[in-house]
Amino acid sequence: MKTIKEDTMLKINNLQVNINNKTILENLNLEIKKGEVHALMGMNGTGKSTLVKTISGHYDCQVMQGNIHFKNKDLLQIDVAQRANEGIFMSFQNPIEVPGINNSYFLKTALNEKRVYENKEPLDAMAFLKYVKEKTSHYEIDQKLLQRELNNGFSGGEKKRNELIQLLLLNPDLILLDEIDSGLDVDAIKTVANVINGILDGNKSVLMITHYDRLLELIKPDFVHILHQGKIVKTGDYTLALEIDEKGFEAIGIKDETH
């Protein structure tokens, strides 16, 4: 098996992904090194969400060709839960409501699954609550969310905050953010940025999908990729995001063909 370099977090080679027999991603290559922040931009329907879902292992995403390596592991050989426990976290664009499950019980279960996977002792209820406090107290995150049912009846902003709580507790290595800023007001976007910047320690990496410049301004990406018709057509640094924000995708030669 081909090994990847020590400082590589994620390496995608020649990836083709179909959903319902339709090709969504094609000949896609991407490498993310430890400590790097990558932003993924592009018009609607170009396959941005499909890419993060494929990395997470979503059942709808059929990998037809290519491979994905994560920290030297062949990702396509392991299932969704294992990928998560290996250190991949995906923040959902629309976090799913699961009635009947107490949020704090869910968080404790998820955390302990990961701890057991890493051969650590699971935390009991007391230790868990202490851990939650320790992890979230620096941020503007309402502890009351813990007592409610998982995302059930949460407002859009509360759901995104709950994603941040999970991110802080699970402490992943690769953070996939699917439009975490959509529907958030300025203050909430600041909280998101504070959390992301707060946990970046030089070893964690981020792949974020966003349409808005505001979040990129607060979390300066090292790389910006433009996805178009299932391929990365352009890669640049933060200035590429500024250019798109100012002039739109057409200015860099991308036409919206869906209209």
In the complex, which residues of this chain contact other proteins (CB under 8 A)?
A: 56-60, 79-81, 83-85, 89-90, 92, 95-96, 98-102, 106, 109-110, 113-114, 117, 149, 166, 170
Smallest distance, Å, CB 238 to other proteins?
29
Is 24:206 a contact under the CB 8 Å cutoff?
no
Q: Is 193 helix (H, G, I), strand (E, B) or coil?
A: helix
d(CA 45, CA 197): 29
Q: Which CB sits closer to other proteins, 148 or 231?
A: 148
- Residue 3: CB minimum distance to other proteins, A: 26
- How many C-beta neighbours within 10 Å does residue 161 have? 24
The residue (of 48 and 83) whose beta carbon lies closer to other proteins is 83
Q: Please identify, using beta-carbon distances, which residue of 166 and 232 lies nearer to other proteins.
A: 166
Token look-up 């869906």 returns: 258
Least separation in angstroms between CB 246 and other proteins: 35
248: Cβ contacts below 8 Å, ≥ 6 apart = none
Q: Which residues of 60-74 are buried (b: 16+ CB within 10 A; e: fewer)?
A: ebebeebbbbbbeee
Nearer to other proteins, 64 or 98 (CB): 98
Q: In the complex, what is the shortest distance from the CB of residue 237 to other proteins, in angstroms, rounded to a whole number?
A: 30
